[in-house]
Structure 1
Amino acid sequence: MPKRILMDHDGAIDDLLSQLLVLTMPDAELIGVTVTPADCYIEPALESTYKLLQLMGKEEIPLGRGDYYGINAFPSEWRARPEIINALPMLINLPKSPDPYAYPSAPELIIDRLSAAKEKVTVLMTGPCSNLVLALEKAPELKGKIDEIVWMAGAFRTTGNVQTYQHDGSAEWNVFWDPVSSQKLVSYELPLTLIPLDVTNHVPVTKQFLSTLATQIDYKLSNLTGQLWALTLDTIPSYHYTYFMWDILATSYLAMPDYFTTELVKANVSTRPPNAGQTYLDDQGYVVKIATDVNTGYFYDYLLSQFKQ
């Protein structure tokens, strides 16, 4: 029986790569995708999301539009990347996408998909958690339909990646965008697995990986993913950051959990400056599972294999 996956992402390059990766997994059934307007502008991100479904022959999978805007906005230059993605040669001439204003709201779609599910659902989040929290606040009885939440979020024993005014650098962006919803989600004590910077810092997008991927260019997905990853080299100026496989690593957890080292901890989330969005270990906090390490060689080989289709 395939694992039923409900995905919420926020439209950035690594989110869209993650969506493609889910669609290559033989033991996963993607039952819906919602998009949060965090690391994207929502209209082009919905277009990118739909085009990738088209490319994989899965355009019947329903999409939901996030209309909630978080507390701390991502930089606008990061959010504009889907415009470039939609112009890539493999995507630009695909049939026209639906009206981006015609989609149901993201919380509505989450409620619909969970309500209709006959088996428990795994929720994969590669952006902020706001849509899921909004859905569960409206329909708290649906918490029982969730088998596991896998979320790329947090930084526990390492520094964060938020560099902005009135912040001490301790937070990770997906949590920082909406610290209040993040704190609520942790407090629910659902089966929550966080893939934080502690482990994503082990998997940078390297020129060596891109070079190896390029040897597979005759395969459609290797060609497209190689183009997408190449776009990341200037997405975030290298003097500030290295681009890591944040969301892709979290997504790979669905298929290779045994290759991760995880730990049950008690944790909490700060909702106020100067450390808004910081995820921290707290003996009085809430039980979550966090990933601390991964077999990096197996992970890179897994990606090369999955995109050789």
Structure 2
Amino acid sequence: MKKKLIIDVDAGVDDAVAIMIALSMPDVEVLGITCCNGNTSVENVLKNVLRVLKICNRLDIPVYRGCSKPLVARTIHASDYFGTDGFGDVPDPHAPSLDLVQKKKAEQAIIDFVNENPGEVMLVSTAPLTNLAVTVQLDPTLSKKLKALFIMGGNTESRGNTTMCGEFNFVADPEAAYIVLDRYTCPTYIATWEFTCRNSLPWKAQSPEFRDTNPLGCEFDLCDAYAMAAAVNADIDADINNFITESVEVAVTVELEGTYTRGMMVLDYMHKLKKEHTVFIMKKVDLEMFQEMLINAVK
């Protein structure tokens, strides 16, 4: 039986790669792709997802419009990283029409897919967690019917990439991240910012001269793709994941009030939260397997 996925994105180049990995796996069925404000506006995210699906000849996969702004936080985008449109501002005169976007809202689509396939659906989020937070508020029983949740976001050592202590997806909507980590009690796996930095891949095509003069530019980090790689290689029933070679299991939450730490993920090694639900924080993965998956995704 194929693994059933819902993918929640704010595409984003690395979101695009994550989608392509899922589409390249013969034992994976992508039920739908939900879109959220994040790297760029939700309008651009919808366009970018449709562009990816067109290139992959998979415009049959339904795409859904989600939240256009955070629950409470000020809206931020990653225009300095992925360009104003999320795809490096590369023109695409033949991009698919937004008329292809489904009329149903993303949150309702997630609820319907899960209710139609109870215990079978894995949800992969590579975006701010706004859509997921709204979804669980609409259906508080959703988490009990999900097979697993995979997230790219958060951090483990206060090392930020947007604020001093915060990773982009969590900083973009801290309240949503807090709600998701509090109310989703299904098996949960998180690829954090520091983890992805430590598991970067080399730019093999670079010349020796470039590597010698640019020692910090010899690796690339497709953050969102790690969460997807973990999802498509997961055997949740058998508690096996050939991709993840080392992880730590711990209860987590998100700081909402700190001046410098708002949006930072907090790991409760001292058991102060008294939470029954713990998550798996990825530490190491099979990089050879990851590289092979990336190659297959773009063939």
Aligned residue for 1:49, secondary structure, equals helix
Q: Number of residue pairs matched? A: 272
Structure 1 ranges of 4+ moved more than 4 A: 83-86
Quick one: which amino acid aligns to residue 293 of structure 2?
Answer: Y
Aligned residue for 2:98, secondary structure, equals coil
Aligned residue for 2:157, secondary structure, equals coil
Q: Provide closer, same or farther for how the CA distance between residues 125 and 79 of structure 1 changes in structure 2, counting only shifts above 3 A.
A: farther
Q: Which runs of 5+ in 2 are unaligned?
A: 208-214, 234-240
User: Which has a greater percent of helix?
Assistant: 1
Show the counterpart of 2:280.
Answer: 289
1:69 & 1:205 partners in 2: Cα distance? Answer: 33
Q: 1:1-309, aligned counterparts within 5 Å?
A: 1-70=1-70, 71-72=73-74, 73-77=76-80, 78=82, 80-82=84-86, 84=88, 87=91, 92-93=93-94, 96-99=96-99, 103-117=103-117, 119-157=119-157, 159-163=159-163, 169-188=164-183, 189-204=185-200, 206-208=202-204, 210=205, 244-256=221-233, 257-260=241-244, 261-274=246-259, 275-282=261-268, 283-285=271-273, 286=275, 287-304=278-295, 306-307=296-297, 309=299
Give deviations 1:184-224, integer Å, cap 9, x for gaps: 1111233211111232012335432x569xxxxxxxxxxxx
Aligned residue for 2:198, secondary structure, equals coil
2:142 & 2:267 partners in 1: Cα distance? Answer: 28
Shift of 1:158: 5.4
Q: Provide closer, same or farther for how the CA distance between residues 34 and 268 of structure 1 changes in structure 2, counting only shifts above 3 A.
A: same
Partners of 2:35 and 2:67 within 8 A in 1:
no
TM-score of the pair, normalised by structure 2: 0.81
Q: Which runs of 5+ in 1 are unaligned?
A: 164-168, 213-237
Quick one: which amino acid aligns to residue 224 of structure 2?
Answer: D
Give deviations 1:30-79, integer Å, cap 9, x for gaps: 00101111111222321221122223232121111123412141244445
TM-score of the pair, normalised by structure 1: 0.79
Shift of 1:4: 0.2
1:207 & 1:25 partners in 2: Cα distance? Answer: 24
Shift of 1:124: 0.3
